[in-house]
C-alpha cells in the first residue's frame, strides 16, 4: 500500500462516504428530481446533496480551507491560501441518463497550486489519486501514462460541445479538430466525464485527451494525476493556464505537442 498523507486520507474518506448515497440515487435514477440549470446542463438533487456532504466532511477535517464548487461556487475560508476544488458529479448528464460514467472529483489547492487530487468512480470503485511529488495511483497500484510515440497507434478522448455550450463557430471548430485527429489516429472516444478522461490518460488507457469550455472543478484533480503519472498537460496555447482558458490538452510526453499542434492547426485552418 503506498504511503499517503493525512490530507489525501481526508479526501478519500469524504469521497467514499459521499458515494454511498450517490450509488443509491443512481440505482433510482428514474425517480430523481431533475431541474434544468441551462440548456443541456442538468443539475440533480443528487448533485447538490453530494456537494453538501463533501463540503461538510472536508470542513470537519480542515475547517480553515475555502471552497470552489460547481454548484455553490466560491466560498472563502479563514485560510485564504488553501481551498478545496470540488465537482460532486462530473458527468451529470451521464448520471441522469443512467450511464455509469461519472465521478467525484476533489482537489486541494495551496497558494494557487494543486497539491493533491482524487477522482473516484463510485460504480467501479476505481479511485485515482495523486499528491505532488509522490506519483499517481489507482487504488493502491502505481499508474503511469502510456509509452506510445506514434499518433497512428494512439487512442484519444475528447469532449464534444452541445446545445448551450459554445457558439456555432465553436462547434464548427471542434468538428475540424475531430476530423484532424480522426484522420491520423487509432480512434476517438467521447465518454462524457472530463475527470475520468484525464484519469484514463494517467492510467495509460487513453494516450491523450483534449477539450475546451471546461471549468476548474472539471480538471483540477485530473491535471495533477496526469502529471504525477508522467504526462504533460497544457492549455491549447501551450501554457499552464487551463483554469483561465478553459482548454486542456493532456497526453504522454511523446504525443502532447503533436496532439496540440494538430488541434490548433485545425482550429486556424478554416
240 is catalytic: no
Beta bridge partners of 35: 43
168 is catalytic: no
Least confident of 159-173, 190-204, 206-220: 159-173
Q: In what order do the strands lie in the sheet with 187-189?
A: 187-189, 155-158, 208-211, 248-251, 232-234
Task: Output the pLDDT for position 163.
Answer: 61
Least confident of 93-102, 124-133, 155-164, 172-181: 155-164
pTM: 0.94
CA–CA separation, 91 and 192 (whole Å) = 6
State the catalytic residue, choosing from 51, 57, 70, 207. 70
Least confident of 7-21, 118-132, 140-154, 168-182: 168-182
CA-based nearest residue to 198, from 93, 99, 107, 95: 107
86 is catalytic: no
User: In order of start, what are the domains of the chain with their CATH numbers?
Assistant: 6-143 (3.30.540.10), 151-268 (3.40.190.80)
State the catalytic residue, choosing from 25, 90, 207, 211. 90
CA–CA separation, 40 and 88 (whole Å) = 18
Q: What are phi and psi of 39, to 5 degrees?
A: -55, 125
State the catalytic residue, choosing from 8, 85, 89, 248. 89
Instruction: At 28, list the grid cell.
Output: 433510482
Q: For 83-103, how does the pLDDT look when each residue is reduced to its tens digit (9 = 90+)?
A: 999 999 999 999 988 999 999
Q: For 137-167, how does the pLDDT look when each residue is reduced to its tens digit (9 = 90+)?
A: 999 999 999 999 999 999 999 998 776 566 6
Q: For 211-259, how does the pLDDT look when each residue is reduced to its tens digit (9 = 90+)?
A: 999 999 999 999 999 999 999 999 999 999 999 999 999 999 999 999 9
Task: Output the pLDDT for position 36.
Answer: 66
Q: For 31-66, how does the pLDDT look when each residue is reduced to its tens digit (9 = 90+)?
A: 766 766 655 566 788 999 999 999 999 999 999 999
CA–CA separation, 18 and 30 (whole Å) = 20
Task: Output the pLDDT for position 172.
Answer: 85
92 is catalytic: yes
235 is catalytic: no
**DSSP alpha helix (H) spans, the chain:** 6-27, 45-61, 92-96, 168-182, 194-202, 216-228, 242-245, 256-268
Instruction: At 197, list the grid cell.
Output: 478522461
79 is catalytic: no
State the catalytic residue, choosing from 50, 92, 115, 158. 92
CA–CA separation, 172 and 176 (whole Å) = 6
Task: Output the pLDDT for position 33.
Answer: 66
Per-residue pLDDT band at 80 (split at 50, 70, 90): very high
Query: DSSP letter at 120?
Result: E
State the catalytic residue, choosing from 57, 207, 218, 235. 218
State the catalytic residue, choosing from 25, 47, 87, 228. 87
Per-residue pLDDT band at 174 (split at 50, 70, 90): confident
Amino acid at each position: 500500500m503506498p504511503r499517503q498523507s493525512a490530507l489525501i486520507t481526508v479526501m478519500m474518506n469524504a469521497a467514499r462516504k459521499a458515494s454511498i448515497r450517490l450509488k443509491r440515487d443512481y440505482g433510482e435514477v428514474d425517480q430523481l428530481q431533475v431541474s434544468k440549470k441551462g440548456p443541456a446542463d442538468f443539475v440533480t438533487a443528487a448533485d447538490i446533496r453530494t456537494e453538501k456532504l463533501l463540503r461538510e466532511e472536508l470542513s470537519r477535517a480542515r475547517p480553515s480551507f475555502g471552497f470552489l464548487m460547481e454548484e455553490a461556487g466560491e466560498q472563502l475560508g479563514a485560510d485564504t491560501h488553501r481551498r478545496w476544488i470540488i465537482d460532486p458529479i462530473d458527468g451529470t448528464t451521464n448520471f441522469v441518463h443512467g450511464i455509469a460514467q461519472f465521478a467525484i472529483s476533489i482537489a486541494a489547492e495551496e497558494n494557487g497550486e494543486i497539491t493533491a487530487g482524487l477522482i473516484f468512480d463510485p460504480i467501479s470503485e476505481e479511485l485515482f489519486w495523486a499528491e505532488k511529488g509522490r506519483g499517481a495511483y489507482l487504488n493502491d497500484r502505481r499508474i503511469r501514462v502510456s509509452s506510445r510515440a506514434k499518433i497512428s497507434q494512439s487512442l484519444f478522448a475528447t469532449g464534444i460541445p452541445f446545445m448551450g455550450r459554445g457558439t456555432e463557430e465553436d462547434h464548427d471548430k471542434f468538428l475540424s479538430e475531430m476530423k484532424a485527429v480522426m484522420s491520423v489516429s487509432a480512434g476517438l472516444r467521447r465518454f462524457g466525464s472530463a475527470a475520468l478522461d484525464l484519469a484514463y490518460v494517467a492510467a495509460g488507457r487513453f494516450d491523450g485527451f483534449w477539450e475546451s469550455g471546461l471549468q476548474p472543478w472539471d480538471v483540477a484533480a485530473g491535471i495533477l494525476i496526469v502529471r504525477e503519472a508522467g504526462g504533460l498537460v497544457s492549455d491549447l496555447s501551450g501554457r499552464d493556464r487551463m483554469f483561465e482558458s478553459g482548454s486542456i490538452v493532456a497526453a504522454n510526453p511523446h504525443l502532447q505537442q503533436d496532439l496540440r499542434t494538430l488541434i490548433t492547426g485545425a482550429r486556424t485552418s478554416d
